[in-house]
């Protein structure tokens, strides 16, 4: 009887040592270096998926002793954090009133609030006028799409997070042909991981290209093949 291969729980590393400074996150790093200068004691990290916002949130929380919370879990009257708040997915609170209460309580207590979201607060779908007002007075630091060097580092990190082994030449061949975005790196490795679990062994070049076909487009058929060492894993 065959068994269905299930993906292992993904536990990405958010260690400070694993974060790669880049021109794309330079603005965010400058703001994070001086939380005492944030207007109203609040800062929003905003940018495309996969550009390091959650990683920076974890680094700042660990360094400052702030409490990590998730926007979609905010309900009722959330308790006041002890030293400060780091809120991921802040643009998707379960209850807007809960986020408003938390921002007001932190302001009254003089506690810093760091939030991460896919877009700046001006683009959040917020119905409560008072919450819109609080967010409009919040500083924003943008993260952008990474450089080629950072894309390579992100691809390697996603492979390591999923404990997925690829021949270095094959990994370089695939990464160079993927769309130049952090989100594409994450999706590509997720697809490779799923394909490897389905195959039950190390991925062949053919299987890797098939798994990434929706991302590679014509490149999967027309690109030159990499010069790879012979071996059963690469046939």
What is the structure's pLDDT at 218? 58
Q: Residue 88: beta bridge partners? A: 70
Angle, alpha carbons 12-195-221 (nearest 5°): 115
Residue 107 — very low, low, confident or very high, per pLDDT cuts 50/70/90? very high
Cβ-based burial of 122 (10 A; exposed 0-12, middle 13-18, buried ≥19) = exposed
Q: Residues 81-90: pLDDT tens digits? A: 999 999 999 9
For the domain made up of 23-142, the CATH class stated in words is: alpha beta
Say what percent of the chain tops pLDDT 70: 87
For the domain made up of 148-234, the CATH class stated in words is: mainly alpha
Residue 80 — very low, low, confident or very high, per pLDDT cuts 50/70/90? very high
CA distance 84 to 61: 8
What is the structure's pLDDT at 143? 96
Task: Answer whether residue 130 shows pLDDT above 70.
Answer: yes
Contact between 2 and 30 (Cβ < 8 Å): no
Contacts of 153 (CB under 8 A, 6+ apart): 20
Cβ-based burial of 9 (10 A; exposed 0-12, middle 13-18, buried ≥19) = exposed
Name the residue among 87, 78, 99, 98 with its Cα closest to residue 45. 87
**CB neighbours of residue 17 within 10 Å:** 6
Residue 11 — very low, low, confident or very high, per pLDDT cuts 50/70/90? low
| Total-model pTM | 0.74
**Average pLDDT over the chain, rounded to an integer:** 87
Domain with CATH 1.10.8 in the chain: 148-234
Q: Residues 155-211: pLDDT tens digits? A: 998 999 898 988 899 999 999 999 988 889 989 999 999 998 877 777 888 999 999
- Residues recorded for the chain: 235
CA distance 202 to 167: 9
Average pLDDT over residues 34-63: 95
Structure tokens at 135: 């967010």
What is the structure's pLDDT at 17? 86
CA distance 119 to 91: 8
Look at the block and give the residue holding tokens 């790879």: 228
Say what percent of the chain tops pLDDT 90: 67
What is the structure's pLDDT at 220? 52
Name the strand (E) or helix (H) holding 226.
Answer: none
Q: Residue 113: beta bridge partners? A: 42, 85
What is the structure's pLDDT at 27? 97
Domain with CATH 3.40.50.300 in the chain: 23-142
Crossing angle of the two packed helices 148-161 and 168-177, in degrees rounded to 10:
130
Contact between 151 and 180 (Cβ < 8 Å): yes
């Amino acid at each position: 009887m065959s068994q269905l291969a299930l993906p292992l729980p993904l536990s990405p590393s958010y260690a400070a040592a694993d974060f790669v400074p880049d021109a794309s996150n330079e603005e965010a790093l400058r703001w994070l270096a001086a939380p005492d200068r944030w207007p109203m004691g609040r800062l929003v990290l905003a940018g495309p998926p996969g550009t390091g916002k959650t990683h920076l949130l974890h680094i700042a929380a660990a360094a400052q002793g702030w409490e990590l919370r998730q926007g979609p879990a905010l309900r009722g009257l959330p308790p006041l954090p002890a030293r400060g708040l780091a809120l991921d997915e802040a643009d998707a609170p379960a209850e807007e009133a809960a986020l408003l209460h938390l921002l007001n309580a932190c302001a009254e207590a003089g506690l810093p609030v760091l939030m991460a979201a896919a877009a700046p607060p001006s683009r959040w779908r917020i119905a409560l006028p008072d919450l819109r007002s609080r967010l409009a007075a919040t500083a924003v630091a943008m993260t952008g799409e990474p450089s080629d060097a950072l894309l390579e580092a992100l691809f390697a990190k996603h492979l390591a997070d999923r404990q997925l082994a690829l021949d270095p030449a094959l990994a370089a061949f695939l990464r160079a042909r993927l769309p130049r975005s952090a989100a594409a790196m994450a999706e590509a490795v997720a697809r490779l991981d799923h394909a490897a679990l389905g195959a039950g062994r190390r991925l062949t070049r053919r299987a890797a290209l098939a798994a990434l076909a929706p991302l590679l487009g014509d490149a999967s058929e027309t690109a030159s093949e990499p010069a790879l060492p012979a071996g059963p894993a690469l046939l």
